[in-house]
Amino acid sequence: MNLVEKKVALVTGASRGIGRSIALRMAQEGADVAFTYLSSVEKGEALVKELEQFGIKAKGYRSDASDFQAADQLVTDVLADFGKLDILVNNAGVTRDGLLMRMSEEQWDSVMTINLKSVFNLTKAAIKSMMRAKSGSIINITSVVGISGNAGQANYSASKAGIIGFTKSVALELGSRNIRSNAVAPGFIETEMTDAIDTKAVEEWKQSIPMKRGGQPEDVADACVFLASDLSRYITGQVLQVDGGMLT
Ligand code: NAP
């Protein structure tokens, strides 16, 4: 299948984990892929070679998604390098967990800036060319905890809930221009982000999931390909949970 053939996708935070999988699946389905990373320079360079094996054009950019000017420059560079931008996947994200009683202002601000402001930065920069093209698919990676909340993650949950409100607002503003805006809400996905969690807590968590296992980055990537492709042409403003039934 070539579900996104001849399209150009930009994926933020693709050096590792879910973003890396999204970039690879987009390439496998025929898209040219631009992606970003922040600190993992070697992994970013290695990914370009892996992506090119699918016979598509690929380029990595070292760019901080939380920086408004850098995001604008990134989209300018992607348009210059690839000629257009059809798909934006706002994936870059971090956790800085702690109970609210002990959470610092820096913990709050950094998570809100990296997780939520980045989505504003990239989307604002990308929609100019999408509006001219009268076509586009924006996919924002939120989390089930943006719907349910989570003890110890007030900052992270708030940033992910903010992404859902932003996603729906963009869908309302830009639907008439044939630009779709959807969110994907992963549950527990096995990446470096979740490796940091205590093993016993992880096992208990998995047992509470109806499908009795954690998800893989590919499970999230497949949902993104669907939302990027014409298979989802009449779907906008939605939150697609990829969580094995964790939050029903
Ligand atoms: P991860 O393995 O920690 O990877 C995070 C990625 O984001 C890395 O590529 C990192 O780049 C990049 N990044 C971080 N800050 C950045 C910035 N300021 N600018 C650009 N890139 C930046 O995380 P993951 O588990 O794959 O998570 C990916 C997304 O899914 C996040 O938004 C996360 O909140 C969401 N999510 C994950 C889970 C889960 O269970 N894993 C569940 C729900 C939602 P460097 O390598 O260069 O630092």
Summarize pLDDT for 79-88 with one digit per residue, the tens.
Answer: 999 999 999 9
Give the Cα separation of 61 and 35 in Å (integer): 6
pLDDT at 46 > cutoff 80: yes
Question: Considering its fold, how many domains does the chain have in total?
Answer: 1
114 within domain boundaries: yes
Give the Cα separation of 163 and 180 in Å (integer): 15
> Residue 72, class by beta-carbon neighbours within 10 Å (0-12 exposed, 13-18 middle, 19+ buried)?
middle
20 within domain boundaries: yes
Q: What is the band of 45 on the pLDDT scale with cuts at 50, 70, 90?
A: very high
3 within domain boundaries: no
**Which domain range does residue 180 map to?**
8-242
Summarize pLDDT for 150-195 with one digit per residue, the tens.
Answer: 999 999 999 999 999 999 999 999 999 999 999 999 999 999 998 8
- Report whether residue 19 contacts ligand 1, using a CB cutoff of 6 Å: yes
**Which of 12, 22, 37 is the pocket-test mutation for ligand 1 (most atoms within 8 Å of CB)?**
37
Residue 199's pLDDT is 87
- The 3-state DSSP class for residue 102 equals helix
Burial 131-159 (b: 16+ CB within 10 A, else e): eeeeebbbbbbbbbbbbeeeeebbbbbbb
70 within domain boundaries: yes
Percentage with pLDDT > 70 across the chain: 100
- What is the total residue count of the chain? 248
- What pTM was computed for the model? 0.98
Residue 215's pLDDT is 98
Q: What is the band of 66 on the pLDDT scale with cuts at 50, 70, 90?
A: very high
> Residue 89, class by beta-carbon neighbours within 10 Å (0-12 exposed, 13-18 middle, 19+ buried)?
buried
- Report whether residue 153 contacts ligand 1, using a CB cutoff of 6 Å: no
235 within domain boundaries: yes
Provide long-range contacts, Cβ within 8 A and 24+ apart, for 101-105: 103/154, 103/155
Summarize pLDDT for 102-144 with one digit per residue, the tens.
Answer: 999 999 999 999 999 999 999 999 999 999 999 999 999 999 9
**Is the distance from CB of 152 to CB of 176 less than 8 angstroms?**
no
* Annotation marks residue 156 as catalytic: yes
Residue 53: CB atoms within 10 Å: 11
28 within domain boundaries: yes
Binding annotation for NADP(+): 13-16, 91, 156-160, 189
Q: What is the band of 57 on the pLDDT scale with cuts at 50, 70, 90?
A: very high
User: Ligand 1 center to residue 102 CA distance, Å?
Assistant: 24
User: Ligand 1 center to residue 42 CA distance, Å?
Assistant: 16
- Report whether residue 113 contacts ligand 1, using a CB cutoff of 6 Å: no
- Report whether residue 29 contacts ligand 1, using a CB cutoff of 6 Å: no
User: Ligand 1 center to residue 160 CA distance, Å?
Assistant: 13
**Which of 38, 139, 147 is the pocket-test mutation for ligand 1 (most atoms within 8 Å of CB)?**
38
Q: What is the CATH number of the domain that holds 102?
A: 3.40.50.720
Segment 216-234 mean pLDDT: 98
Q: What is the band of 198 on the pLDDT scale with cuts at 50, 70, 90?
A: confident
111 within domain boundaries: yes
- Report whether residue 117 contacts ligand 1, using a CB cutoff of 6 Å: no
Tell me which DSSP letter residue 153 carries: B
127 within domain boundaries: yes
Query: Alpha-carbon torsion 182, 26, 186, 154, what sign?
Result: negative
